[in-house]
A and B are shown apart, each in its own frame.
Chain A
Amino acid sequence: MQKPGSAQRLSNLRSIRYTYHYMSRQFYHRGSHVLLALIILINGYIIALPFAPTLWYWWQTKSQSTAGGKPLTVRAASAKAVKDTPQAFHADAHHDGLVIPRMMLNTPLFEGPEKDNFNLLNKGAWRLPFASTPGEGGNTVIAGHRFSYTGPRGVFYYLDKLRANDEIGLWYKGKLYLYSVQSSRTVKATEVSVQQPTDDARLTLYTCTPLWNPTDRLVVVATPKGAN
């Protein structure tokens, strides 16, 4: 026969065990709901985010077309960028940059060694150091990100919107070089020939494609219209 003190202790132990099991069940039950919500959020983000810039582009071009407007010229787009840029940034208004009205793009152009490409591409477009420059003729090659989940939006997201004869402006060392789009094609990521020197002056822009699994490269080639 148990003493009253022992019976009390046994009862307390049972109570603690019951409470532990109850809390444990509650933890797994509620935890499952939280995990399910997180999984839906993350996968929704993975699927939907690459579409977001497309919606933005559609909205912007829709506004333009309802206003009866055509894509701006490089000069108008450059002037608009300077007008829209905060005063504090005006001192840096003549930095190297790429202006492509069809892509609604006005981005700084960075130069630097290959080992820094990761940082430079996160800031804007990057001129490949071993390629030519606009003033020298030959093949000037510029790369830019298409899309990134965690980084800033890729500057060349809309590179696939470019069509033949679209205008490209390249500000380089205080001069504006104008180019006209000649061709656009997709190559394998191992196809380095697009970076090779050429006898004729040209501008090669490239980025990753397709969006979700970028195993290829989208390459746009443009030829000079003239330099000012």
Chain B
Amino acid sequence: MTDKTKFFVLLGLLAASLALLWYLDSNAQNILLG
């Protein structure tokens, strides 16, 4: 794997990690029942 490919794969993983953080946090903020 070239450095360039590795870079873009990791960039994708970073975006996925941030999306997961956002998803978990927005779930936790929504507390109302129903």
A46 adjacent to B29 (CB under 8 Å): no
Chain A min CB distance to B12 (Å) = 10
Question: A8 at interface (Cβ–Cβ under 8 A)?
Answer: no
B1-34 near A? 1/0 per residue, CB < 8 Å: 0111011001101100110110011011101111
Which of A58-66, A69-77, A83-91, A147-155 is near enough to bind chain B? Answer: A147-155
Question: Is there a chain B Cβ closer than 8 Å to A220's Cβ?
Answer: no
**List of B residues within 8 angstroms of A217 by Cβ:** 31, 33
**Which of the candidate stretches A28-36, A92-100, A170-178 sits at the interface with the other chain?**
A28-36
Which residue of A32, A145, A191, A212 contacts B31 across the interface (Cβ within 8 Å)? A145
- In angstroms, how far is the closest chain A Cβ from the Cβ of B26? 9
A192 contacts B28, CB within 8 Å?
no
The interface residues of chain B lying within 8 Å CB-to-CB of A38 are: 14, 17
Judge whether B13 and A39 touch: CB under 8 Å.
yes
Docked pose: A217 CA to B28 CA in angstroms: 11
B25 surroundings in chain A (CB, below 8 A): 148-151
Query: Is the pair B10, A213 in contact by a Cβ cutoff of 8 Å?
Result: no
What residues on A are CB-neighbors of B29 within 8 Å? 118, 121, 145, 148, 151
CB distance from B21 to the nearest CB of A (A): 6
A114: chain B residues at CB < 8 Å are 32
Chain B residues whose C-beta falls within 8 Å of the C-beta of A191 in the assembled complex: 33
A: residues with CB less than 8 A from B are: 24-25, 28-29, 31-32, 35-36, 38-39, 42-43, 45-46, 114, 117-118, 121, 143-151, 154, 189-192, 194-195, 206-208, 212-215, 217
20 contacts between A and B (CB under 8 A): A28-B2, A28-B6, A28-B7, A38-B17, A39-B14, A42-B17, A43-B17, A114-B32, A117-B32, A118-B29, A121-B31, A144-B31, A145-B31, A149-B21, A149-B24, A149-B28, A154-B28, A206-B33, A207-B31, A208-B28
